[in-house]
Amino acid sequence: MIKIIMNGCNGKMGQVITRLVSEDPDCEIVAGFDINTAVPNTYPVYTDPDDFTGEADVLIDFSHPSSLAKVLDFCKRTKLPAVIATTGFDSEQRESINKAAEDTAVFFSANMSLGINLITDLAKKAAKLLEGSFDIEIIEKHHNQKIDAPSGTALMIADAIADTLSFEPEYVYDRHSQRKKRSKTEIGLHAVRGGTITGEHEVIFAGNDEVIEIKHSAASKEVFAVGAIKAAKFLADKPAGMYSMKDIIDSL
């Protein structure tokens, strides 16, 4: 039985994971961390990770970037593997996640859905093949409550594509601010916000007289929760190091 600590347990994702884990015979949540303690749970909830003195095998984090430093300190000190799923980190915070992987196992993905990781892989392959002759644009759509833009997933896809290109692309977020033609070295990133859209990501490769579109739609938050629980089970017995969804896909 894998013992999980849920950071951000009283948020939307924390509660979906709480429900899914309660139906899973292979794991249990032994504690939650959250600054909001107003939600009733079957496990104890701590506002300060340092108050937890029990045993755990892995931590899942779906919370807020402001929580990162405290959670990484806790995981490094206790050598607890951590699945970090929160988005909206700045470059310094991204660096601190990489640094924590020197002390404990860290799984980081801005999108925990297996489907998104698959289309990222497809987009990388397409970018390599089409480099130079196709313009690349990424459009993401989310519900009207989302604060960060573009989404962490859109940036994750752009970074993966950038890694495969032979030049460093320029990310262009706002075509409104400049009146000029598109350059060949751009990746355009566009955010749409409205209603209750769970999450859509589309990569467009636009060439001369042909357009290729690779698209993923998530119909519920459960796809991210299922992926995060899979990641937690995968990570629980791993040595220090950085892991991603690619490691899970390769292990299947």
Ligand X SMILES: NC(=O)c1ccc[n+]([C@@H]2O[C@H](COP(=O)([O-])OP(=O)(O)OC[C@H]3O[C@@H](n4cnc5c(N)ncnc54)[C@H](O)[C@@H]3O)[C@@H](O)[C@H]2O)c1
Integer Cα distance of 5 and 199 in angstroms? 26
Give the position of tokens 């579109």.
213
- Which part of the chain contacts ligand X (CB under 6 A), choosing from 24-32, 93-101, 106-114, 172-180? 106-114
Which residues, 6+ apart, have CB-to-CB distance to 222 below 8 Å?
A: 16, 20
- Which part of the chain contacts ligand X (CB under 6 A), choosing from 7-15, 74-82, 90-98, 124-132? 7-15
Residue nearest to ligand X (CB): 11
- Which part of the chain contacts ligand X (CB under 6 A), choosing from 51-59, 64-72, 90-98, 133-141? 64-72
Please tell me whether residue 224 binds ligand X under the rule CB under 6 A.
Answer: yes
Which residue, 135 or 159, has its beta carbon nearer to ligand X?
159
Q: Cβ distance 228 to 12 under 8 Å?
A: no
Please tell me whether residue 108 binds ligand X under the rule CB under 6 A.
Answer: no
Please tell me whether residue 150 binds ligand X under the rule CB under 6 A.
Answer: no
Which residue, 64 or 238, has its beta carbon nearer to ligand X?
64
Please tell me whether residue 117 binds ligand X under the rule CB under 6 A.
Answer: no
DSSP string, 135-170: EEEEEEEE-TT--SSS-HHHHHHHHHHHHHSSS-PE
Please tell me whether residue 88 binds ligand X under the rule CB under 6 A.
Answer: yes
Q: What share of the chain is helix, strand, coil (3-state, %, to 5)?
A: 35, 25, 40
The residues annotated as belonging to the active site are: 142, 146
Strands (E), the chain: 2-7, 27-33, 45-46, 58-61, 82-84, 105-108, 135-142, 170-172, 186-193, 199-206, 211-218, 241-243
Among 11, 81, 150, 169, binds ligand X (CB under 6 A): 11
Which residue, 112 or 123, has its beta carbon nearer to ligand X?
112
Burial classification of residue 39, based on how many CB atoms lie within 10 Å of its CB (0-12 exposed, 13-18 middle, 19 or more buried): middle
Please tell me whether residue 35 binds ligand X under the rule CB under 6 A.
Answer: yes
Which residues, 6+ apart, have CB-to-CB distance to 172 below 8 Å?
A: 182, 186, 187, 188, 189
DSSP code of residue 176: G
Among 1, 19, 54, 66, binds ligand X (CB under 6 A): 66
- Which part of the chain contacts ligand X (CB under 6 A), choosing from 109-117, 163-171, 180-188, 200-208? 109-117
Among 27, 83, 85, 235, binds ligand X (CB under 6 A): 85
Residues making contact with ligand X (CB under 6 A): 8, 10-14, 33-36, 62-64, 66-67, 85-88, 109-112, 224
